Amino acid sequence: MDEALTGSDWRAAGRRWAIDLAVLCAMGLLMGFLGPFGSEHGPVGLVYAYWLICIVGGGVIGVAADELAAPRMPRLWLRTLLVSVAMTPVVTFLVLLTQHLMLDGRFNWAGYRWLLWQVFPILLAVMAVRALVWRRLPARIETRTIVAAPLPEAEAAFRRRLSAKRRTARLIAVEAHDHYLKVHTDAGEELITLRFADALDDLALAHGWRVHRSWWVAADAVEAVRWRKGAGEIRLVGGLTAPVSRSCAPVLREAGWF
């Protein structure tokens, strides 16, 4: 088991380094094409080779330093900046040596100090591109409310209070109006004489919620819930809307609506 895990780790590290090298090579070729800092005046092949050595070599130094610093410094962009600053003197020496060997550049302290200010922004750009490649995007979490169909007997007592036309219709909501109730169904509305508290007792086992002091809604009729500035609103099938009170909001929160 340990050997298998070790092999997997090595393959993952190899793949990561292969991607890093591919990115660095692409950036080196781009710099060779652009030919900044007067390098475009040299032979084409030499210019491309020079920039590949500088970008890939300097990038490998930066990547190695970043990998060592990552366990102690998890903040990606801060680590990218600090690694770029810390590695600039080392990478500058590599660039100075490459210039001296390939482009007949001067190998002295004055040239080194002058190169520092050119190497740093390029190294920072290289490390920033790598950081973009490997950054972890925020996880996208989707929630879904699964509404189970109510048991036939759960609404039976309440449905017996309705007329024959709406007794078998889809129940959407119950709205209290003084001494009577307005029952919303997909077959229309109906007024019945009943206390809201008694309706809640009849619907105690039904799949729905009391969302306001004067509203009960069926769970499978809810399309959306909005909460703004301390006030809530629930949209039901058929274009019906109902208020959501602060005291009743927790039941909708537990159901995953907001």
What one-character DSSP code corresponds to residue 99? H
Q: What is the structure's pLDDT at 151?
A: 55
Strand order in the sheet with 215-218: 188-192, 180-185, 171-177, 215-218, 208-212
Q: What is the structure's pLDDT at 42?
A: 72
Q: What are phi and psi of 172, to 5 degrees?
A: -105, -50
Residue ranges of the chain assigned to CATH 2.40.50.1020: 152-254
5-14, 27-36, 45-54, 191-200: segment of lowest average pLDDT? 5-14
- Residue linked to tokens 């482009």: 103
79-93, 135-149, 182-196: segment of lowest average pLDDT? 135-149
- Under the banding of pLDDT at 50, 70 and 90, the label for residue 4 is very low
Angle at 80 between CA 74 and CA 86, to 5 degrees: 110
Mean predicted confidence (pLDDT) in 208-218: 93
β-bridge partners, 208: 218
> How does pLDDT run across 33-55, given as a tens digit for each residue?
887 777 777 788 888 998 899 99
Rg (CA), the chain: 35
pLDDT for residue 1 is more than 80: no
Q: How far apart are CA 193 and CA 96, in angstroms?
A: 93
Dihedral, 24, 30, 85, 113 alpha carbons, nearest 10: 130
pLDDT for residue 155 is more than 90: no
20-29, 111-120, 228-237: segment of lowest average pLDDT? 228-237
28 versus 153: which is more confidently predicted? 28
9-18, 41-50, 169-178, 242-251: segment of lowest average pLDDT? 9-18
Q: How far apart are CA 100 and CA 86, in angstroms?
A: 23
Q: What is the token pair recorded at 154? A: 């759960």
152-254: CATH topology: OB fold (Dihydrolipoamide Acetyltransferase, E2P) (2.40.50)
36-50, 84-98, 204-218: segment of lowest average pLDDT? 36-50
Q: What is the structure's pLDDT at 67?
A: 87
